[in-house]
Amino acid sequence: MRTLFKNRLTAFGAGILLLFIFIAVFAPQITRYDPTDIDIKRALLPPSLEHPLGTDALGRDLFSRMVYASRIALLIGFVAVGLAAVIGVFLGSIAGYFGGKMDSFIMRFADIMLCFPRFFLILAVIAVVGPNIFNVMLIIGLTGWMGMARLIRAEILSLKTRDYVSASRALGAGHAFIIIKHMIPNGIGPVLVSFVFGVAGAILTEAGLSFLGLGVQPPNPSWGNILMDGKAVLGVGWWVILFPGLAILITVLAFNLLGEGLRDALSPRSER
């Protein structure tokens, strides 16, 4: 932890993420407006004391929508990448530990998945199964495990020849025990770094899908569909585009800063 937060940029990124998590958790206490409450009389009001970020074309308070949209962005990011991490660690561990045909089959399947452009694959699947929050999380997770599987496989290939693994096997430990007790805990570092970067990527993917109308569906607020709504009123309501764009930029930047710091802290060459 000392090595991780010695870097000021990493500490800044972690602080920004904690702020967004706090906003997402305490959204009902932070804002007094319903994010779906329509009032045409208040349409496209500029930022003011009553509406700090202004209102959109339907008179909905933009600050409320931004606050509740942070919930959806973080939920989709963490759940989708969490699912990808579980799948990737499971398949990568099996491939690296057992090797042989099992390794070849899993890695060739991962190669096939990597051949498809991920965003267009997600678009195609969402168009078939239908756009909603659950489907977006599921599809992003099911199409994002390959990199993590490769990382954990590489770590386990080097770990399975260590003396403590041979000793555990000589004492009669089963394959599952060795993988769960020794392999994964000692090889999880690169996966944690990939997880942090993956959350940033998932938030961007969700925003892109929502902007195209294939992600979170109205009236549920999402940074992506707020951007889509603001596109039609850009000339008279610049704030509808500006604030969700800044939220996406700052959140993704914060995750990237934290990921860079975590990678340096977990590197064996890091100065202690």
Q: What is the set of domains in the chain, with CATH numbers?
A: 59-266 (1.10.3720.10)
- When the pLDDT of each residue in the chain is averaged and rounded to a whole number, the result is 91
Q: How far is CA 30 from CA 23, 161, 248, in A?
A: 7, 53, 20
Per-residue pLDDT at 268: 56
Per-residue pLDDT at 272: 42
pTM summary value: 0.91
Of the pLDDT bands very low, low, confident and very high (cuts 50, 70, 90), residue 161 is: confident
| Mean pLDDT score, 49-55 | 94
Of the pLDDT bands very low, low, confident and very high (cuts 50, 70, 90), residue 270 is: very low
Q: What is the pLDDT of residues 246-263, one digit of tens each?
A: 999 999 999 999 999 998
Of the pLDDT bands very low, low, confident and very high (cuts 50, 70, 90), residue 223 is: very high
Tokens of 104: 């070849």
Q: Is the pLDDT of residue 130 over 90?
A: no
| Mean pLDDT score, 189-209 | 94
Per-residue pLDDT at 103: 94
Of the chain, the percentage scoring pLDDT greater than 70 comes to: 98
Spatial neighbors of 227 by CB under 8 A, at least 6 apart, are: 207, 210, 211, 241, 244, 245
Distance of CA 112 to the CA centre of its chain: 23
Convert the chain into a string of H (helix), E (strand) and C (coil). CHHHHHCHHHHHHHHHHHHHHHHHHCHHHHCCCCCCCCCHHHCCCCCCCCCCCCECCCCCEHHHHHHHHHHHHHHHHHHHHHHHHHHHHHHHHHHHHHCHHHHHHHHHHHHHHHHCCHHHHHHHHHHHHCCCHHHHHHHHHHCCCHHHHHHHHHHHHHHCCCHHHHHHHHCCCCHHHHHHHHHHHHHCHHHHHHHHHHHHHHHHHHHHHHHCCCCCCCCCCCHHHHHHHHHCCCCCCHHHHHHHHHHHHHHHHHHHHHHHHHHHHHCCCCCC
Q: What is the pLDDT of residues 58-68, one digit of tens each?
A: 999 999 999 99
Q: How far is CA 8 from CA 11, 15, 156, in A?
A: 5, 10, 33
Of the pLDDT bands very low, low, confident and very high (cuts 50, 70, 90), residue 269 is: low
